[in-house]
Amino acid sequence: MGERDLSQKTLSHAILWTVACFCRTTDATITRHHVPRPRGWKP
């Protein structure tokens, strides 16, 4: 995510959470609002 390195555990959690959030919507595509922010990450 940008210049930050993510561990495999953090990345896999983000992917699973993204898909779970997407599946609970009626959206046709996955967008950035489905992707969780890692703890401590500030844009």
SS (H, E, C) the chain: CCCCCCCHHHHHHHHHHHHHHHHCCCCCCCCHHHCCCCCCCCC
Sequence-distant (6+) residues with CB within 8 A of 35 are 14, 17, 18, 21
Whether the CB-CB separation of 6 and 24 falls below 8 Å is answered with: no
Residues 2-43 have pLDDT tens digits of 667 778 998 898 899 999 999 999 999 999 889 887 776 666
Whether the CB-CB separation of 34 and 18 falls below 8 Å is answered with: yes
What was the pLDDT predicted at 2? Answer: 60
What was the pLDDT predicted at 38? Answer: 73
What was the pLDDT predicted at 15? Answer: 92
What was the pLDDT predicted at 17? Answer: 93
